[in-house]
Amino acid sequence: MQTKFLTGLLLLSSLLLVSFKHTSVRSTKHSKFNNQPNGTVYLIIDKTDYELSVYDDDGWFATYPVVFGNKVLTDKLMEGDKKTPEGSFKILSKRVHDKWHRMFLLDFPNKESWDKFKQRKAAGIIPANAKIGNGIAIHGTWPNDDIVVDTYTNWTNGCISLRNDDIDELNEILKVGSKVIIRY
């Protein structure tokens, strides 16, 4: 009996820790950004920590959990590797998506991406006939499937995925053209 109680208590404690770690905002009130960001808003996505952090002119504003494509979190090499690219990008468009709730399309591949891709081809790191790929975005999850983010289950084809409520909040403060830095 005591073992079941301790196991249940441990599970509850773990769930509470996960829920407190997931979404944190500079504001003490976390209801659709009662405290709006100040000035220019940009994102830093840290693949090793599975976090998307929002910054503004005052510094850190909020952090959300995210997941990616491949379990191997290194930089995208070529089309089809399911890896998330690293570098500096911009949001090209924002729209509702029929499968993944909302989608913010990034400008991948950009000049920085092409330069790395060409260098890797020249060095023989990737095959000469490899393609760079495209269509990298920040998006939500399948309906009622936010658990993939909560359990850090990488499932995309190289995109960054957040819980649907979290991407709704980001949709309110991010603009087309917002800077996105993805790093390992």
**Spatial separation of the C-alpha atoms in residues 151 and 154, rounded to whole Å:** 9
- What are the sequence ranges of the domains in the chain? 22-183
Nearest alpha-carbon partner for 84 in 14, 156, 33, 148? 156
B/e letters for 22-57, b = 16+ CB within 10 Å, e = fewer, are bbebbeeeeeebeeebeeebbbbbbbeebbbbbbbe
Distances (CA, A) of 156 to 25, 41, 116, 152: 26, 25, 22, 12
Q: What is the CATH number of domain 22-183?
A: 2.40.440.10
| pLDDT score at 33 | 55
Q: How far apart are CA 184 and CA 13, in angstroms?
A: 29
Rounded Cα distance between 49 and 89, Å, is 19
pLDDT, tens only, 26-36: 443 344 456 78
Give me Rg for the CA atoms of the chain.
18
pLDDT band, very low/low/confident/very high, at 7 (cuts 50, 70, 90): very low
Amino acid at 81: D
∠ CA 179-182-184, nearest 5°, is: 160
Contact (CB, 8 A) for 65 and 162: yes
pLDDT of the residue at 8 = 46
Contact by Cβ (8 Å): 158, 61: no
Confidence category of residue 44, pLDDT binned at 50, 70, 90: very high
What pTM did the predictor assign?
A: 0.83
Query: pLDDT of 91-141, one tens digit each?
Result: 999 999 999 999 999 999 999 999 999 999 999 999 999 999 999 999 999
Residue 145 pLDDT grade (very low, low, confident, very high; cuts 50, 70, 90):
very high
Query: What pLDDT is recorded for position 1?
Result: 55
Query: How much is the pLDDT for 36?
Result: 87
Query: Cβ(167)–Cβ(94) under 8 Å?
Result: no
**CB atoms closer than 10 angstroms to residue 133:** 21
Beta carbons within 10 angstroms of residue 110's beta carbon: 15
